[in-house]
A = this chain, B = another copy of it.
């Protein structure tokens, strides 16, 4: 029986860090899937869709590997907040998040040949302090979060503005490690049993 190797189909260094820190062994292959943010899906389905697209694309090139895809979105009032790209949009986003609770949702997909194709999503609630215009512009111009969904990084100075989370912290960073592990264990067991047959 060969041991099944894992591939993380993601270019997020934070996902890599979460998995490594928890002791998982895997290699990394970028899917280079281009997300089309205009696609009409509710947030949960949206991130599951793109997690699966990433995994599917890598799975085609890597048979006999367990491929893990993931996609994280920041959601306010059921609308996905993308990457602001320019400071003005960043200020608008942080202004909308200020003093409120929003959702961070990650979709995670497992694909192995034609035998396994499983996707789930998890939500964490994140509550932000009421921010002054000065606090917002100071953060935007100092930390330049133009390529960060929702216009903030939970791991940089913005952490001081987050007063509460409910759910998995690692989910906000890009991978809900506890749920991931629960499904991963079962999937590995199932695939190993199939191989033995």
Chain A residues within CB distance 8 Å of chain B: 18, 21-23, 129, 155-157, 159-170, 177-182
For A18, A157, A169, the residue with the greatest tally of chain B CB atoms inside 10 Å of its CB is A169
Which of B156, B177, B178, B180 sits near A22, CB closer than 8 Å?
B156
What is the count of identical protomers in the complex?
Answer: 2
16 contacts between A and B (CB under 8 A): A18-B159, A21-B156, A22-B159, A22-B160, A129-B178, A159-B170, A160-B177, A160-B178, A160-B181, A162-B168, A164-B166, A164-B168, A165-B165, A165-B167, A166-B166, A169-B169
Q: Could you tell me if A21 and B159 are in contact, using CB atoms closer than 8 angstroms?
A: yes
The interface residues of chain B lying within 8 Å CB-to-CB of A163 are 168, 178-179
